[in-house]
A and B are shown apart, each in its own frame.
Chain A
């Protein structure tokens, strides 16, 4: 019901995080998460980072969830 993708945070600027999922990069909203830092892994859904996560075994692996 909700395609999600785990991705690595590259940088954060003013509530927007640049994320990287195996080379695909996009700016997403980081406004729903506190204390996000570059290097953290997040679950992204519809352009919003919805959770800070433990990276999957193969870091940054596209899961097509």
Chain B
């Protein structure tokens, strides 16, 4: 690590913009104080890899409709509880009597459905390649058991198309470690052939510094474009084929709207028609809800790496972790939250 650290701190070459795609990287990089080690000519920008941040306000509105109008029990990861919808958050709805349960796994929501057969249980399925197989597993088990009181409200997304949308936002990417666990590294080899550079990065201090050192060395030595798996103890080149197969059996790709990036064709995952009974939108015949965000909120621009949170007029004033306006402030992994929590001058 000392060598990696030396490479990172002593870089004097051309200015570099490195995008950490994954929200957990954003969080850990702040927590470990790694930004403070970087020389002035290396800038880390936060990307769109926080599922909560790229999910539109309309999704929360749909969940609230299910909870308040259809009296469904909403099972969700804790990440989503404080995210503002057009009018209120799940936490605010809970205070009004909505039954909102925080779960660790989609399989816990499924278990709840089996335990409470008189209630409709809806799991809020957000997340990328890493999280999707769990939702698929829950749906497939529900189908096998013919469980009629379980469904998922989906806002799942996949990364490949986003990389293409972002390829001009940075000189190199820290690719998300746990998405890569599932997807494998072939996609990055292909991106490299198209001129997009990056490394797969782990989450400890050693792993993050090693990944940054790899990027910086590649630029110093003019080895661009490049790709390297810097998280080989966890990420295999072939990824997790069983997880991908399951996902393909249960879900289809679809267009998806990303807060800040707009609609990216083919970047979403939706349940296949044969699983329509477990698709909350179809089951409860939900209307299309566009969702309204505060127009001054610049989450979208932040998510593209085009501005820093501090450039947003709401940041730290109207928008704080206690009273978040945009999703990037509410999620513990959001760039705004991380900047606010860790970024103070000292």
Contact = CB atoms under 8 A, between A and B. Distances in A.
Whether A associates with B in a native complex is yes
Interface of A: 1-4, 6, 26, 28-29, 31-34, 43, 45-48, 50-51, 53-54, 56, 63-65
Contact of B104 (A2, A46, A54, A65): A46
A6 B22 CA distance: 18
A47 B233 contact: no
| Chain B interface extent, by class | 35 or more
Given A1-B23, A1-B176, A3-B24, A51 B51 contact: no
Interface in B169-200: 176-179, 181-182
A47 B106 contact: yes
B234 A43 contact: yes
B28 A64 contact: yes
Contacts of A32: 133, 137, 240, 242-243, 246
B50 interface: yes
Nearest to B236: A51
Interface of A is mostly: loop
Contacts of B274: none
5 contacts: A1-B23, A1-B176, A1-B333, A32-B133, A47-B108
A51 B104 CA distance: 18
Contacts of B58: none
A55 B181 CA distance: 15
Contacts of A26: 104
Given A1-B178, A45-B178, A46-B77, 13 more contacts: A1-B51, A2-B176, A31-B242, A32-B242, A43-B178, A43-B234, A45-B130, A46-B127, A47-B104, A47-B106, A47-B134, A51-B235, A53-B233
B91 to A, nearest CB: 20
Interface string B15-37: 00000011110001000000000
A2 B236 contact: no
